[in-house]
Structure 1
Amino acid sequence: MRGIGRFRIAMVGLAVLAGVTATSAQTAPPPTPTPFAEALRKAADDLFSKAAVSGEKVELVIDPLIDAASGAQSTATRSMQATLMEIVRTSYPRFSVLPFDSEALAGKPVVLVGTFTAVNNQGAADGPRDAYRICLTLADLKSNSVVSKGVSRARTEGVDTTPTQYYRDSPLWAKDQATDAYIKTCQGTKLGDAIDPGYVERLTANALINDGILAYETQHFREALAFYRAARKLPGGEQHRVRIGTYLAASKLARREDMVDAFGDLIDYGLSTDRLMVKLLFKPGTTQFIDDRQITEPYPMWLSQIATRSRQKGACLEIVGHTSHTGLPQVNDRLSALRAQFVMDLLLTGAPDNRGRMIATGRGFRENLVGTGKDDASDALDRRVEFKVIGC
């Protein structure tokens, strides 16, 4: 009996110890964000110094870094890429940075992918985005595996997350498998994992699309259009960025018919995913579009295409208004609902037979994608109007 008693006491002790250990793990303090440059340097040093890849010289290409919430490149991600290239040049000469193009990819180099995402540092889903999470990954195409990771947290001060011109001009956002595969390769892998085949399949197309984005942003619109059309013919080239780029380039070239067709293509894709997010910009605190004709001029065409394409598909729509994370929740809830109603009224003006197939609702800032509350171009997606396909 004494042996049994001692055994029970021992088991109780182990249970208490396990409970203490679990509690300690649950209450582990969150990572401490550091200044942006310091955080990037830490992630880069971890990435390159611990890379499990053989060879005295390692060919490296950088698939442009993105914001994981929006999929966009920004001033910050472009700056990060330039800094990473300089770090490689000065501190890790073993790596040789090559252009991100089909020729370099044919040699099966190591590919660097990275995301930069606004997060709540305490991990609260509905908390303020008070830090940035940096994620860097090296994916070796020869071994088809993840060979290094680097992560850190950065403070928000002095960080410019304004989207680059292509992404600022983009009229809408929709969930895209190519972007999801990129993010998964960075954030959803651990050392030694196989590279997501969906990401590898799209790499050559991604390189051409990036060429198109850069051509667009340097006002070489014909070249941009050629890059997008070439990318679309490749495996994995049917991407949302190609559709957006085709629309933007056609718009800049004043090809009205091509522009309308391209926007219709965007609408069809968004409706096929049951979720279409359009950047319709309003005056602060109102249900009126901003006073900038250059921005609002295509809005009637956009809304006409949405009404026409949804009717052709027999789709019923929930029109959902959103606001950025500023002001009182109840005020934003009402404002977002009024904006959705305003957009629905415009749709019904041009297509009254859609009445009964649409409802308008508002979410305030409860479903922010970016969530920084800056109320500028960097969080424009948070002030979107969303069209969700619902049962009729």
Structure 2
Amino acid sequence: MNIAKTTTTGRWLQAAFGTAALLAGLALTGCAAPKASVSTTVLPFDQAVANVTDGLMAQTSGFAGFASKRSLVLDPMVDVGSGQQTVATQTLQRRVAERMRTQHDTAEILPFQKENLDKASYLLTGTLARTQRSPTTPGPIQIKLALTDVRSGKVVAQASGLARDEGIDNTPLAYDQDSPVLAQDQVIDGYVRTTATGPGQPADAYYLQRLTAAPVITEATALYNAGRYQEALAQYNAANATPAGDQLRVLSGIYLTSVKLDRTADAEQAFAKIVSYGIANKQLGVKFLFNPGSTVFWSDPKVSGAYDMWLRQLAGLSTAANVCMDIVGHTSHTGTAALNDSLSLQRADFIRQKLTAQSAPLEKRTRADGKGFRENIIGTGTDNTVDALDRRVEFKIVACPA
């Protein structure tokens, strides 16, 4: 995507970053940015959220801009490991908004809509991340919030804290449950980096460059989650028609809504674009689900019915692109490490055989590998929709052997 075009996004960025030096000086009453708020005490979830929110807003007490009420927009919060929106991230978002409304009257959270993005002073982002005490023992949940000045493009406040991993519902929302791929791309990575950025530092440029499409994508995803697929498709297509809409979550949304609307040809075309996007970015995680302990695809055709089409597109497009790939199998955290290492390799080799059966050149261009549960994203071992991403197969573009 050429982001140098003169577009609405380009004009927004020119205004934002062209005046950064001036506004950075105006944003703070002193010369130095405030220090980020960091809490290392593990608290109950609601208490931790309140603590982190208060720590974030305490940093705004010296802002000239917060002498009176200032408007914020909140880009929906995400899980760091998966890039997904889950019940837990939705709860975090709701608790943060409630805390701001009841305890911090200098901030007004506006609905995340295009017109509000244009007039809001600040952008609020937030993440949840699972930590590990050891490779086999989960640690507390880490919460991070950041406040970015939308005109200067700089983070002006950032806070983090720890919450007990008790009663946290990591179930993905409908869109993320249904998505055929791991939807974490450069935009989501940029969102996560922005939320971890200290005060006075620039927010992630890639994320900000595509921010103008975010309200439309958010509306489309909310419509999908509500089962309003025709309206969701219209919004995903609207986002896709803009330079800022060149994102994996848009392509996945078009695929999912086309499937729900029984538009088979459109769904296959959309999946082909997902694969092309993954090849261009040198990695694609696809959620092939298998029956427990086997290399047989999940028995429910509502889940696995599209797999033949996925494999056809993967074989055809990777062959046409003349790329070499490592096909990497993963398993959820159930059973012994040795068993899962073997099973993940068998599943990767099963996918490799399926691909090479359709395209002979891939025999020399692909290699199977198994990671067991060593690279789990979720790590719950529930073997249901919560940890479906842990049972993925990744396609990593690698240098071809000489």
The interval holding the TM-score normalised by the smaller chain is 0.7 to 0.9
How far apart, CA to CA, are the structure 1 residues paired with 2:153 and 2:315? 45
CA distance in 1, matches of 2:164, 2:380: 12
2:26 maps to none
Q: Does 1:133 align with 2:142?
A: yes
Q: 2:160 is matched with which residue: 123, 144, 151?
A: 151
Who is 1:77 aligned against? Answer: 89
Residue 175 of structure 1, CA deviation: 4.8
Query: What letter corresponds to residue 397 of structure 2 in structure 1?
Result: V
Alignment partner of 1:46 out of 55, 73, 97: 55
1:289 matched to 2:297: yes
Report the structure number with the largest CA radius of gyration.
1
CA distance in 2: counterparts of 1:308 and 1:358, whole angstroms: 13
- Identify the residue that residue 358 of structure 2 maps to in structure 1: 350
Offset of residue 345 of structure 1: 2.1
Residue 68 of structure 1 pairs with residue 80 of structure 2: yes
In the alignment, what sits opposite 1:166?
175
Counterpart check, 1:89 vs 2:97: no
1:11 corresponding residue in structure 2: none
Cα offset, 1:379, TM superposition = 2.0
- Could you tell me how far apart the structure 2 residues matched to 1:268 and 1:235 are? 17
Q: Report if the CA contact (8 A) 1:74-1:163 is conserved.
A: yes
Contact 1:75 1:162 in 2 (8 A): yes
Q: Mapping of 1:90-129 within 5 angstroms?
A: 90-120=102-132, 122=133, 126=135, 128-129=137-138
Whole-angstrom distance in 2 between the partners of 1:55 and 1:250: 48
1:244-276 CA distances to partner (integer Å, 9 max, x unpaired)? 011111111111111111000000111112211
Aligned partners of 1:136, 1:174: CA distance in 2, in Å?
21
1:154-174, CA deviations, whole angstroms, 9 ceiling, x for partnerless residues? 111100011110011000126
Q: Is 1:128–1:372's contact at 8 Å kept on the other side of the alignment? A: no
The answer to whether the aligner puts 1:258 opposite 2:270 as a matched pair is no
- The answer on whether the counterparts of 1:128 and 1:371 sit within 8 Å (CA) in structure 2 is no
Counterpart CA distance in 1 for 2:305 and 2:280 is 26
Q: Structure 2 unaligned segments of length 5 or more: list them.
A: 1-38
Contact 2:287 2:388 in 1 (8 A): yes
Deviation at 1:336, TM superposition (A): 0.5
The percentage of aligned residue pairs carrying the same residue is 40
Once residues 361 and 144 of structure 1 are traced to their aligned partners in structure 2, the CA distance between those partners, rounded to angstroms, is: 41
Paired residues in the alignment total: 359
* Residues 1:274 and 2:282 are matched in the alignment: yes
Task: For residue 145 of structure 1, report the CA deviation from its aligned partner.
Answer: 2.4
**Aligned with 2:198: secondary structure?**
coil
- Secondary structure at the aligned position of 1:135 is classed as strand
| Aligned partner (choices 200, 204, 212) of residue 196 of structure 1 | 204
Q: Is it true that 1:243 corresponds to 2:268 in the alignment?
A: no
Moved more, 363-372 or 150-159: 363-372
Which residue does 1:376 correspond to in 2?
A: 384
Unaligned runs of 5+ in 1: 1-29
TM-score, normalised to structure 2's length?
A: 0.85
